[in-house]
Structure 1
Amino acid sequence: MTQDILTTPQPILWSFRRCPYAMRARMAVLSAGLEVELREIKLKDKPQAFLQASPSATVPNLQASDLNLDESRDIMRWALGKSDPHGLLNMPSIGETLIAQNDGPFKAALDHTKYSDRYPDLDAKSERAQASNFIQSLETQLAKYPFLTGDRPTLADIAIFPFVRQFAHIDRAWFEAQPWPNVILWLDSFIQSADFQKAMTKVIVWEEHASPYLFGQAS
């Protein structure tokens, strides 16, 4: 446990603006109406305080008085466990299934597509097709409901849309040409939301002894 955990009044959320895992953690904090000290880092120049905090040396990481969370799903559930005014945690089991598929095979295929030069032994078109299979499963859900598990957003929507956004941004023109009208509408609704605009606000990279940047809304 670091000195920050003992002395900082707000929980500390280590983040990187463009990371989809960090995006969904910030979205959960906003939905919960919590306030944290947001510490933006550079992935190519990680500060020592962050490396001491995060066992995996990856964002997001959350430090509070009584815990240290190093997985975005845990951070989301921590935030919503404190306050869940929109009932995001109240979702059917299909939501957990979709999150597992997103975080597992879809994220792998997404990375193999987006960073194809890092995987010369893999066929980028085949990997994009694998990722597209997951998007098609979301399209099937969204053809039935406005959100992934029903008539209102749940944890599944918040957990998954940042990764669909990342996949879409590889080639947005190609993405929009696919037969996924409901996914595109669903994705754009989150991208255009007030919470996402707040979550994506550019902040100065954290430096020791700098004034804390408070993110979210105090309850």
Structure 2
Amino acid sequence: MPDDAAPILYTFRRCPYAMRARLALSAARLDIRVREVVLRDKPAAMLEASPKGTVPVLVLPDGRVIDESLDVMRWALAQADPEGWLSADAGETDALIARNDGPFKHALDRYKYPNRYEDEGADPAANRDAGLAILQDLSERIAAHGGQLFGAAPTLADMAIFPFVRQFAHTDMDWWETAAPGPVKTWLAGHKESARFRAIMKKYPQWAPGEAEPVLPLAGPAAGPVAG
């Protein structure tokens, strides 16, 4: 069990924003108390900490609240960055993440959830193609850099982006397998199969006051699989 004074993370297992926060906190090897939430039944303590009601929400021991996923990632890596996720060019990193969180997420949402955007006349196929164009550029970069976005080893950009590419791929896996560029498919598969991702995707019951707060897994290369 984690230290009672450890930071608290409100998270939702399947949210890509929460995934990337958990990835960075795990990589920094921090002692974190996990509170799994159900988004249709958000706990009062989470809404008191962050009234906007989205995950992740990280509550630090001194009362500070970090409720943007990239801010959680950067805070975690500022505590410890043993794998060098911050070693890549900061400007290029920011640009790649901004494109992911802007145009790619816009296309992803309208491809995956077209009924939510009927008033816009959202065309799922057109948005899938818009997302694919961005992925084609990512794929060329991955191929040119030896397997990841900035080299042979993943950095902040890889870990901030791949949860959203995963969501895009899972919208229609048959289409993904036939249409996605090879390098980005291999890149995504590697991250999905990694020990750390399997660990941070562990299932927890919905947290309620007085319930246990499991520690965030700190998976290393030798960690075994976790049930999906």
| Distance (Å, rounded) in 1 between the aligned partners of 2:73 and 2:4 | 20
Tell me the C-alpha RMSD between the 2 structures. Answer: 1.3
**Where do 1:12-161 residues align within 5 Å?**
12-66=8-62, 67-92=64-89, 93-120=91-118, 121-145=121-145, 146-161=147-162
The CA deviation at 1:150 is: 1.8
Q: Secondary structure at the match of 2:59?
A: strand
| Distance (Å, rounded) in 1 between the aligned partners of 2:167 and 2:154 | 20
Query: For the Cα contact (< 8 Å) 1:37–1:213, is it kept in 2?
Result: yes
Q: Deviations over 1:89-118 (max 9, x none)?
A: 111232221101001110011001100111
Residue type at the aligned position of 2:163: P
Residue type at the aligned position of 1:24: R
* Worse overlay, 157-166 or 146-155: 146-155
> Residue 72 and residue 179 in structure 1: after superposition, are their counterparts in 2 closer, same or farther (change >3 A)?
closer
The CA deviation at 1:179 is: 4.7
The CA deviation at 1:119 is: 1.2
| Distance (Å, rounded) in 2 between the aligned partners of 1:142 and 1:90 | 17
Q: Secondary structure at the match of 2:84?
A: coil
> Where do 5+ consecutive residues of structure 2 fail to align?
219-228
| Distance (Å, rounded) in 1 between the aligned partners of 2:212 and 2:202 | 17
Between Structure 1 and Structure 2, how many residues are aligned?
A: 211
Provide the TM-score with structure 2 as the length reference: 0.89
Residue type at the aligned position of 1:77: R
Query: For the Cα contact (< 8 Å) 1:95–1:148, is it kept in 2?
Result: no
Provide the TM-score with structure 1 as the length reference: 0.93
Q: Secondary structure at the match of 2:149?
A: coil
| Distance (Å, rounded) in 1 between the aligned partners of 2:34 and 2:116 | 31
4+ long deviations beyond 3 Å: none
Query: For the Cα contact (< 8 Å) 1:55–1:70, is it kept in 2?
Result: no
Corresponding residue for residue 4 of structure 1 = none
Residue type at the aligned position of 1:102: N
| Distance (Å, rounded) in 1 between the aligned partners of 2:6 and 2:180 | 45
The CA deviation at 1:124 is: 1.3
> Where do 5+ consecutive residues of structure 1 fail to align?
1-6
Query: For the Cα contact (< 8 Å) 2:132–2:180, is it kept in 1?
Result: no
| Distance (Å, rounded) in 2 between the aligned partners of 1:96 and 1:79 | 17
The yes-or-no answer on 1:196 pairing with 2:193 is no
The CA deviation at 1:216 is: 3.3
| Distance (Å, rounded) in 2 between the aligned partners of 1:179 and 1:58 | 30
| Distance (Å, rounded) in 2 between the aligned partners of 1:65 and 1:10 | 6
